[in-house]
Amino acid sequence: MEWKPATIDEVKEIVTDLKRCNADQVAVCQQYSVEPWLAPIVRNGKEESVVVVARKSNEVIYWEESGR
């Protein structure tokens, strides 16, 4: 089976499934969540993409998968 990165829709489904989180964690997720978007990053000299899922000021939380 060939690896494929998660789509934005798949990531949205994953990050909105907060069953294991307590009420405080859910509140923080809701406070800082953003409409997920692809962001380019450079790691080890290679350009890759991650899906940004939350933002506070100039910091973000992103979802990434490694197919390596």
Q: Where do the domains of the chain lie?
A: 8-63
pTM of the model: 0.76
d(CA 61, CA 20): 18
Contact (CB, 8 A) for 53 and 11:
yes
17-67 tens-digit pLDDT = 888 889 999 899 899 999 999 999 898 999 888 899 999 999 999 988 765
Give the pLDDT of residue 2: 76
* Predicted local distance difference test score (pLDDT) of residue 14: 83
Whether 68 shows a pLDDT value over 90: the answer reads no
Residue 51: count other Cβ atoms within 10 Å of its Cβ: 21
Q: Can you read off the two tokens belonging to residue 5?
A: 């990165």
Is residue 5 predicted with pLDDT exceeding 80? no
